[in-house]
Structure 1
Amino acid sequence: MAITHAIPELWSAKILTEFQEATIFAGLANREYEGEAKGGNTVHITGIEPIQVKDYKAAGRTTSADAVTDTGVDLLIDQEKSFDFYVDDIDAAQAKPALMSAYTKSAADGLAEDTDKFLSALLIAQGTAVTGLTAVTDAATAWNAIATLKKAMRKAKVPASQRVLVMNAEFASFLDENDSKLMKANEFASTAGLRDASYGKLLTFDTYDSENLPETSKPQIVGWHKSALAYASQIEKTEPMRAQNKFADRLRGLHVYGGKVIRPNAVFHWTAA
């Protein structure tokens, strides 16, 4: 079946749905600044400076107003990634519309992986590296590493709610050991918390594993408050068409996005030496 008469908005919605379901980091980011994300745009995010608390009694029970000040950061929509593929009429006749759907999902998965790697690299580059940890070699030292990140967040006054943590396979493998605190806690419970990428709630963190962290050959973890990572995304164009030089349908699209760590004091990470 040809896609010449496909409605572009419907194709865009399909791509976005698959993309949101497949990703980890974008799903744990702050999306409230998304607005009208267009390639080359800048989203200006305004912040405020803390209000000073004064000793009213020591000031003779008098008070005066302070001028308020603000800060700001810019979220650039500066990433542009495309997909473009053919489906031959012969293939389409054999597989029917399901083939186009499968390729569309493949494109969406590629966009998800690309975005995840971009956002995870931002967190590692712009967050704070936790020091003083011994090598992580087993379940106990892995648990202690997460506890150290929790301590760093507590000292930075990061709220306990909406803390998230992502670890790579090298780190997660220690928590998978049968003598780890995680496995003992789940010994008589449902294994639902261990399905897919979720490890459930660990030491106040909603915890996940992902191989889209920058480091894949040695243990690495990153923890942050959801408000700390801003992300804006848009499937800007999707065009179904007939191929000009062959009997095939063609689908191409453009994904534009941007991300920024807007609260670097709420992002902490650790990587094995």
Structure 2
Amino acid sequence: MINFNGTIQDNNTVLNSNNRGFAYGDALFETIKTSYGKLLFWEDHYFRLMASMRILRMEIPMHFNMEFLETEIKNTLEANHLTDASARIKLTIFRNEGGLYLPETNNISFLIDAKPLKDDFYIISDDDYEVDLFKDFYISPSLLSTLKTNNKVLNVVGSIYAKENNLQNCLTLNTNKNVVEALNGNVFVVKGNTIKTAPLTDGCLKGIMRKQLIEVIKAIPEYELIEASISAFELQKADEIFISNTITGIQPVSKYRKKTFTNNVSKSLIQKLNVKMRLN
């Protein structure tokens, strides 16, 4: 069951060929982890969504406050019997039908979908996780590239490339040939006591988990967090590389080309992240 504009209904009765999210990618989405009905890092998700809607010149309804959307998400969890479990929520906002590239209205609709998750807390997997660079297409750094929009064709093609080459993920590059992010999350590179992640100006997603980890790392005296461009040459010199997103938390990279990595920093950070999650 899905929630379409506040109505719980079957998921086969909503979209048509005139939907602007489908026709033009004129849509935003938030992927949110919930734990027993609690929305994790909800305030950060909400304010990112509101800022993104303003950037795309979508009309924000007066009633679209945190409490309203939180209630609608919880109604969706209840309809799918997921209030006593962990779940993945996808909240999609799209401009209403009408027009071609130029919309006839800036009014919006919303769609909420819920899927069960196996793990209640963030855990570190010791499974092999090999990555390589995806160099077929490049991210053009801009404010738009930092938004979580429906324009994800690079991520789709990159995911197919990864599967064809027996990789678990790929790292993307921007037009300046700097490492920007993974196909499904932000990237952190560890060398000694320095942890580096790409700045938003390089075109990476303004990730919610990226924000949480930056806060966690900055509170640890023995580590230095740097937001700076990452060259591909740095990857093979790194002690550790990990990927962050809202659902997984932290995913350590075990291999990049011929270089293998430890996951000691990842294991240390995941414990602190779970504490932050409980306190959220």
Q: TM-score, normalised by structure 1?
A: 0.26
Q: Tell me which structure has the larger Cα radius of gyration.
A: 1
| Structure 1 or 2: more helix by fraction | 1
Structure number with the bigger relative contact order (C-alpha 8 A, sep ≥ 6) is 1
